[in-house]
Amino acid sequence: GAKMYHHRNAQGIWKKNYFKAGEMIYHAPEDRYDCSNNIRGRQRYEKLCCSHSVTTKALETLVLETIKRTCDYAVENEAEFREKVCSISEEQQGELSVRLEKRLAKKQKRVSEVNRLIKKLYEDNISGKLNDKRFNAMLSDYESELETLEADIDRDNAELEGMSAKKTDVDVFMELVKKHTTFEELTPAMLNEFVDKIMVYKAVGSGANRTQDVDIYLNYIGRFVVPEVVVELTEEEKLAEAKRQEKLEKKRASNRKYMARKREEARKAWAEIEAEKAKAVGQ
């Protein structure tokens, strides 16, 4: 993983419709966060990371909900909250430390491999096996990768060192909670005060079944998951929920049929365009 960057296109753009000649398709404004490694990989036609972008609206909603639920739980169950934070913090730091060390080892191994490849490049160039043009192009790629790896290693080492100095402080967090007693929107000040970091993972599935894990680490307490309160539904509520799920599944099935029909229409339109091109070449 790597740092994510905010990507926004406030105006929206028109693009050529490749399925219908002469038509343009409007692409709505974009507002999302993208992984820098994935962007860099696409630019160099390499798979440096998987795509795990997330829309700004979804992320802000999730962050606001996490802060509100955590604050509410901390106020209503302060003693239990303090106990859970202390036990969870030690466990999370141990898991994070193991992950960082594995990631560091993998990157350090790749640094050694790249250095050996650079040495081999020089040898092949001197011996005449590799011409200067190809040598310079390959050397530039390897040096760029090496620069990225070394920056990642420095960042991971700094995070490992910071973990020992960074301690859980429930008292400071409780003061923060009392400072923000009621809020309905996420402000930049709240974001800076409450959020330490956010980890976004690769999405799984597609369409209505698409899910994506996002871990939000709060300042002073780390990643805290508010315990779920299990509510026993009445028979009427169970029946209503079953009907809701049935209705939702019918809607999903209808959407799948619609999308399949649109894909088939697009396929036929593309086939017609290709046939026209072939006919024009034949003439």
Q: Are residues 153 and 215 both part of a single domain?
A: yes
Domain that holds residue 278: 235-283
84-139 per-position pLDDT tens digit:
887 776 666 777 778 888 989 999 999 999 999 999 999 999 998 889 999 999 99
Which of 17, 36, 51 is the C-terminal boundary of a domain?
51
- SS3 string, the chain, reads CCCEEEEEECCCEEEECCCCCCCEEEECCEEEEEEHHHHHHHHCCCCCCCCCCEEHHHHHHHHHHHHHHHHHHHHHCHHHHHHHHHHHHHHHHHHHHHHHHHHHHHHHHHHHHHHHHHHHHHHHHHHCCCCHHHHHHHHHHHHHHHHHHHHHHHHHHHHHHHHHHCCCCHHHHHHHHHHCCCCCCCCHHHHHHHEEEEEECCCECCHHHCECCEEEEECCCECCCCCCCCCCCCHHHHHHHHHHHHHHHHHHHHHHHHHHHHHHHHHHHHHHHHHHHHHHHHC
Q: Are residues 166 and 269 both part of a single domain?
A: no
Q: Are residues 157 and 39 both part of a single domain?
A: no
Q: Are residues 77 and 181 both part of a single domain?
A: yes
Q: Are residues 91 and 134 both part of a single domain?
A: yes
238-255 per-position pLDDT tens digit:
899 899 999 988 988 888
Average of per-residue pLDDT across 79-85: 87
Which of 213, 229, 245 is the C-terminal boundary of a domain?
229
Number of domains the chain contains: 3
Q: Are residues 31 and 70 both part of a single domain?
A: no
Mean pLDDT computed over every residue of the chain: 81
Q: Are residues 27 and 145 both part of a single domain?
A: no
Q: Are residues 164 and 108 both part of a single domain?
A: yes
Q: Are residues 151 and 258 both part of a single domain?
A: no
187-224 per-position pLDDT tens digit:
889 999 999 988 888 878 776 677 888 899 999 888 88
Q: Are residues 47 and 109 both part of a single domain?
A: no
Q: Are residues 217 and 257 both part of a single domain?
A: no
Q: Are residues 20 and 73 both part of a single domain?
A: no
